[in-house]
Amino acid sequence: MKNEERFMREAIRLSEESVKNGGGPFGAVIVKDGKIIAAASNKVTQNNDPTAHAEVSAIREAAKKLNTFNLSGCEIYTSCEPCPMCFGAVYWARLDKLYFANTKQDAKAIGFDDSFIYEEINLPYERRKIPNIQILRNEALKAFKDWEENEDKTEY
């Protein structure tokens, strides 16, 4: 567990540095073959970007560096259990393993409560806090049909 602890300590260091720089208390590193290939901290407020979470930023950096959207063979270390967006990104990136330090309950205790998102996902469209209104489905299905019939597509 020595290497794992070293990588997690770097994610934690990034989270502490982020707080000092006016950001949220989150850091993440992505490791491939025992080396850190990407590192990021939360930059939501600095970049005015609600998706600039540490995990998403690290995934973007690793994908760019490796020139691939498939991060199989990599692991992510995060200073906190990922939010729903980041959790989804970890799976979409096909990372092999997720290590985390703080829990989502720890995050909730300091004001980062994502439980409402988990609840919203399970609600019918009409009961969600942000109106979810489906329109033009039949027109939109054409792109899905085109994708399905495309023999040269890159599946992901």
Is 79:15 a contact under the CB 8 Å cutoff? yes
Mean pLDDT by 10 residues, the chain (156 residues): 94 98 96 98 96 98 98 98 97 98 97 94 94 95 96 90
Q: Which two tokens stand for residue 107?
A: 């995050």
Q: Name the residue among 20, 37, 40 with its Cα closest to residue 28.
A: 40
pLDDT value of position 141: 97
**Catalytic positions, please?**
55
Helix/strand/coil for 79: strand
At 116-144, the pLDDT tens digits run: 999 999 999 999 999 999 999 999 999 99
Q: Identify whether the C-beta of residue 58 lies closer than 8 Å to the C-beta of residue 99.
A: no
CB-CB contact of 40 with 63 (8 Å): no
113 token code pair: 């409560």
